[in-house]
Chain A
Amino acid sequence: MVIGGGIAGISASLDLGNAGYDVLLVDKLPSIGGRMLQLSETFPTLDCAQCTLTPKTVETGQHPRIKLVTFSEVEDVKGKAGDFLVKIRRKAAYVDWEKCTGCGLCQEKCPSKNPSEFERGMGPGKAVYTLSPQAVPNKPVINPSNCRYFKEGKCKVCEKICPVGAIDYEQKDRFVEERVGAIIVAVGFDLIPIESFGEYGSGMIPDVIDGLAFERLNSASGPTTGEIRRPSDGKIPKEVVFIQCTGSRDPERYMPYCSRVCCMYTAKHARLYKHKVHDGQVYIFYMDIRSTGKGYEEFIQQGMEEEGILYLRGRVSRLFREGDKVIVWGADTLTGKKIEVSADMVVLATALIPQNSTKELAEKLGIAVDDYGFLTEAQRKLRPVESNVEGIYIAGCAQGPKDIADAVAHANAAASKVQGLFARN
């Protein structure tokens, strides 16, 4: 069983499926793809995340040995390596997935519009939804807290429109039990919410957004179809400030660790912005530039030298709104000067943190988490994918911040450990 259908979970599942093992891929969301599906382009090659990921999600969905169990959560785990008994809660989707053909009519006609979580609150989401048009599996779910029928008892538009009668408002959570030989936990990460940063407006300034929101703005499938338009008034921002290490490397107040991907994705954001808004000015406030991957340093240098991105070494002490501008108070510690930028939009490279549910899941599995809630490996250097329970392995950002390449490598390693375990028995 692989828990978590992000790029790590998908990679591990495909490895194991291709090796001839049956895989149960469990994801709490309606479809697989995870965080990577939210990204626009990826560093250092600037290729489209969805273009590289969608073939993988489709392959996973169609793989004869991989069974997708999406919109589901692991309830309980018993047994030991080679013979785990897992209980899975299949959350009520209010749509009969057996009948549903994925035609998308219900989503089109649904009258309820709410900020979409997938779009980081910037685009409208329907009450009956799939995460993306390329969702795997392409089956919608109904969110009762946004659905007019569930809230007001009237509507049922989706039921009327559905050509196969798949809508089922009476559906309840179901429980299924499965026997599996090994478990890979690849439940990924979250971002520290921008509401945590009082000095940066507590999330109350509309044009202060986080990195994932910028990914959605920049994504061709996002709320602005890839045009960089700021959330408050839809104008194209001409001065954009990026603040690295927001909540990272700050032991006194937030997370003491380095989130590893922010230097690179901020450089990527800045370059993508410059590709779209040629007369725009980018300021990046940084503490250090950590670009230790293959081709990463070159990527940063290119941004500085060829694209005129202004790097300022220093932290930002405050953001506040003045008219339609966001005032940025920062310091340039190399010249020792105070800097004030009147920006049109600010992007915070917020710290990577574990998913809320990781700790609870770890308790069910009997595996350890560290002080921050990331899963703990058996040994820091020599056993990076094993948990402290035999037969349970960890992969990707659930263990700690990683970029895509590292997450995939980590997942590949976990899959090979599983194969080793099965070969022994």
Chain B
Amino acid sequence: MRFASVGVTMDYLYFPGCTLYTKAKNFDQTARNCSRLLGFELKELPNWTCCGATFPLATDNLMALLPPSRILASAREEGSALTTLCAVCFNVIKRTNRLIQEDGEKREKINNFIEKNYQGDLRVVHYLEILKRDIGLAQVKEKVKKPLEGLKTGAYYGCMLLRPFDEMEFDDKEKPTLFEELLEALGATPVDFPYKIECCGSFQSVGAPDVATECAYKILGSAIKHGAELIVSTCPMCTFNIDHKQADIKEKYLDFKQVPVLYFTQLLGIAMGLDYRTLGFEQNFVDPVPLLKQKGLI
């Protein structure tokens, strides 16, 4: 096996995060099903809690660091690699892990609070990174049963996977390609568009919905303009803004045309040959089924 030779475990501890149990069940289910087909297991962390949802930026950040620290410490007791799907959770957990590794004083304080002895020695890895670095996209490509031929897909990264660049070390800062590489492995045609790393508006959709609507309108408009028929996302927050809010966008911008937004794992599921009725499309606001049928993919 390839894994043994490079010393990577086949099992990953899995932190779903709150949204994947509610609004983004389709993300969670498809990720679990696909991982089995790709030969690795997501082992759900027992007794997990909310990650805190934002990495604290205040100097006095101890309280906000405790939830992700607790998650990390309990994961370390179960294994050595932790994965998440939600880009926000990933951002919070990865940055907290880094902080614990690098800041001895903070580490001691956190450990005193949570009554653990966690040294920051867990590998925090995103599902996309598993596909690219651990499994290898060539292996993924081999497992593809239904290549997504002719599907012009815009890979939307958002901010959280990438920023801050030095801490996330996910991909190239300004021109990430990991997502597109995956789409190519699945047989789809990736569409590059300038807004692919721009902010979706995030929590502004609560306090200043107009701001978020404008962000989403620009992102989707740019993707469509560059030829995308479908957009893939890796974040429930982004998906809320760019998929679930499409009715609001339509109301505000008369020229707007709706476009389906899928989680990348749903697309992976189609390519792996899973029955489309198990991919949770009913949770997607814009129904992708007509497009996928038209393309002969389902």
Seen from chain A, the residues whose Cβ lies within 8 Å of a Cβ on chain B are 198-199, 202, 318, 320-322, 327
Contact = CB atoms under 8 A, between A and B. Distances in A.
Interface in B193-215: 194
Interface string B161-200: 0000000000011110000000000000000001000000
User: Most chain-B CB neighbours within 10 Å: which of A318, A321, A327?
Assistant: A318
A320 B172 CA distance: 16
B172 A322 contact: no
A198 B194 contact: no
14 contacts: A198-B172, A198-B173, A198-B174, A198-B175, A199-B173, A199-B174, A202-B174, A202-B175, A318-B174, A318-B194, A320-B194, A321-B194, A322-B194, A327-B194
Contacts of B173: 198-199
Contacts of A202: 174-175
Nearest to B166: A252
Contacts of B174: 198-199, 202, 318
B97 to A, nearest CB: 22
> Contact residue range for chain B?
under 10
A198 B174 CA distance: 5
Contacts of B172: 198
A327 B173 CA distance: 19
A320 B175 CA distance: 11
A268 B213 CA distance: 42
Closest 10 CB pairs of A and B: A198-B174, A320-B194, A199-B174, A198-B173, A198-B175, A202-B175, A322-B194, A198-B172, A327-B194, A202-B174
A344 B175 CA distance: 22
A366 to B, nearest CB: 37
Contacts of B194: 318, 320-322, 327
User: Most chain-A CB neighbours within 10 Å: which of B172, B173, B174?
Assistant: B174
**Chain A contact residues, majority secondary structure:** strand
Given A198-B173, A199-B174, A318-B194, 11 more contacts: A198-B172, A198-B174, A198-B175, A199-B173, A202-B174, A202-B175, A318-B174, A320-B194, A321-B194, A322-B194, A327-B194
Contacts of A327: 194
A405 to B, nearest CB: 37
A234 B280 CA distance: 52
Contacts of B175: 198, 202
A320 B196 CA distance: 12
User: Most chain-A CB neighbours within 10 Å: which of B172, B175, B194?
Assistant: B194
Nearest to A201: B174
A318 B174 CA distance: 9
A202 B176 CA distance: 13
Contacts of A320: 194
A367 to B, nearest CB: 34
A283 B173 CA distance: 27
Contacts of A318: 174, 194
A212 B122 CA distance: 49
Nearest to B226: A322
B168 to A, nearest CB: 15
Contacts of A321: 194
A321 B225 CA distance: 13
A321 B194 CA distance: 8
B297 to A, nearest CB: 30
Interface in B94-147: none
Nearest to B225: A322
A193 to B, nearest CB: 15
Contacts of A199: 173-174
A322 B174 CA distance: 16
A155 to B, nearest CB: 39
B193 to A, nearest CB: 9
Contacts of A322: 194
Contacts of A198: 172-175
Nearest to A198: B174
A272 B175 CA distance: 34
A328 B110 CA distance: 43
A199 B194 CA distance: 11
B177 to A, nearest CB: 12
A327 B194 CA distance: 10
Nearest to B222: A322
A199 B176 CA distance: 12
A198 B173 CA distance: 7
A64 B172 CA distance: 56
A322 B225 CA distance: 10
A30 B95 CA distance: 53
B220 to A, nearest CB: 15
A382 to B, nearest CB: 40
A247 to B, nearest CB: 14
A333 B194 CA distance: 24
A322 B194 CA distance: 8
A202 to B, nearest CB: 7
Nearest to B172: A198
A198 B165 CA distance: 12
A144 to B, nearest CB: 34
